[in-house]
Structure 1
Amino acid sequence: MSILTGLLGKFRNYFITWPTPLKAQETANILEARYGFPGVIGMVDGTHIPISAPKIDKQAYINRKGFHSIQLQVLCNEKHEFIHCYVGLPGSVHDNRVFRYSGVQQKCNDEYFPENTHLLGDKAYTRQKHLMTPFIDNGHLTVEETHYNYVHSSTRMTIERAIGLLKLHWRYFKNKLPMRRTDLIPHYIMAAYILHNIGLKRQDYFENVDEILLPDEVDDVGPLDATNESKAAGAAKRENL
């Protein structure tokens, strides 16, 4: 197990990397030109990998849709390449809690988000300075807020296509992973993440990535929530956008 973990860690750190300031700006420029949303260096989303009922704590792995699963969280860039991956929490865990455990919250500062850039996430996540979420549609959105949500959604679909592409190539991720060892499943999935990025870099994937969409309603760190200051900054930033 230690040899497997070491090899996966080595390849993960080589093929799944956070963007440099130069690459972050390049991504932001491309996404703004493509969709109109400024300052985006990546999109974040969670998804479930169906699994057989584990022998231990199987109730914890039942998600809101009623089947056993492992929680995944991925961030991708404009090329559908994963720039951060976190896997292993039981299916019953909420997306926002996965975010807090994943280590991404620790990166939500100006060092990792130069020039006031940010991620895009859906309403499951906490709005903050470096994570923009949509306005909740209460039936009274302004024209500007409605337009913001439309551009936000159009841009964020990139991560859903990336997840769809992953599940298209690893069908077990869409159906049911035939493994019961919950300690081994994250390593198997992480290997698929790495191969996903290698495939994109080698241009071995399908050309029409925009047509691929399969919607779906390991860092050793503790949970971390956004500060009130960051949440307030995120509110002001979203209004300005």
Structure 2
Amino acid sequence: MPDSYQSVRNQFGVGKSTVGAAVIQVANAITERLLLKVVTLGNVQVIVDGFAAMGFPNCGGAINGMHISILRPDHPGSQYINRKGYFSVVLQALVDHKGRFTRINVGWPGKVHDTRIFRNSGLFEQLQEGTYFPDQKITFGDVEMPIVILGDSAFPLIPWVMKPYTGSLDSSQELFNYRLNKCRMVVVCAFGHLKARWCS
């Protein structure tokens, strides 16, 4: 069950700053020793086949961002106020067809837009270089399509990131949006499960 620094301080008879330092040390140890063992890409073909079965071909993941509420930082606090008006850091994650986290980026201030976070991530760099997924393309008409990831309208439209059409849509664009959004729901549900864990 979540607890405050004050409560932990009282339970163990240590200073609040000691509790804070211990939390940072544990977080760093998890990041350095466990993260790459727990959050991994896995079998790309299984992921691609999973998204294809859901209606979107040659897809390697769905990406989204989530705000994690934090206490007001000492400085520069205004950078951490998100568009909904509370202090947060952003967790941006890529998940597979089953909603398992395959890549995460966490810690950007809540005011920062998803596009900026994405463009400054190691994932973006690897996707740009073509080193994150295998070079596996499929052809539609005369267009070659690499393995793509699915994002919402906040993400840039580039050859390896698909996002929904906007504006007045014809029936084929509506079908595209329906399939993309159906597959993208796995990341929304993954965040929902994560929030449920925090709340329980």
Same fold flag (TM > 0.5):
yes
In structure 2, give the amino acid aligned to 1:95.
D
Encode CA deviations 1:116-172: one digit per residue, 9 max, x unaligned: 211100110111121111111x12x11111110010000000000000000000129
In structure 1, give the amino acid aligned to 2:132.
Y
Match of 1:125 among 155, 165, 170: 155
Structure with greater strand share of residues: 2
Match of 2:187 among 159, 172, 179: 159
In structure 2, give the amino acid aligned to 1:152.
L
Give the aligned CA root-mean-square deviation in angstroms: 1.7
Q: In 1, are the aligned partners of 2:97 and 2:183 still within 8 Å (CA)?
A: no
In structure 1, give the amino acid aligned to 2:45.
Q
Q: What is the CA distance between 1:6 and its match in structure 2?
A: 3.9
Output the TM-score relative to the length of structure 2: 0.78
SS in 2 for 1:37: coil
In structure 2, give the amino acid aligned to 1:41.
G
Q: In 2, are the aligned partners of 1:37 and 1:151 still within 8 Å (CA)?
A: yes
Partner of 1:92: 111
Output the TM-score relative to the length of structure 1: 0.65
Give the greater-gyration-radius structure (CA): 2
* Matches of 1:148 and 1:50, distance apart in 2: 34
Partner of 2:170: 142
Identity of aligned residues (%): 33
Q: In 2, are the aligned partners of 1:45 and 1:73 still within 8 Å (CA)?
A: yes
Is 1:28 matched up with 2:51?
A: no
In structure 2, give the amino acid aligned to 1:69.
S
Match of 1:18 among 38, 41, 49: 41
Partner of 2:97: 78
SS in 2 for 1:170: helix
SS in 1 for 2:182: helix
5+ residue gaps, structure 2, are 1-20, 137-145
Match of 1:8 among 23, 31, 40: 31
Q: Which has the bigger relative contact order, CA under 8 A and spacing at least 6?
A: 1
Partner of 2:66: 47
* Matches of 1:27 and 1:49, distance apart in 2: 27
Structure 1 runs (4+) greater than 4 angstroms displaced: none
Q: What is the CA distance between 1:8 and its match in structure 2?
A: 2.7
SS in 1 for 2:74: coil
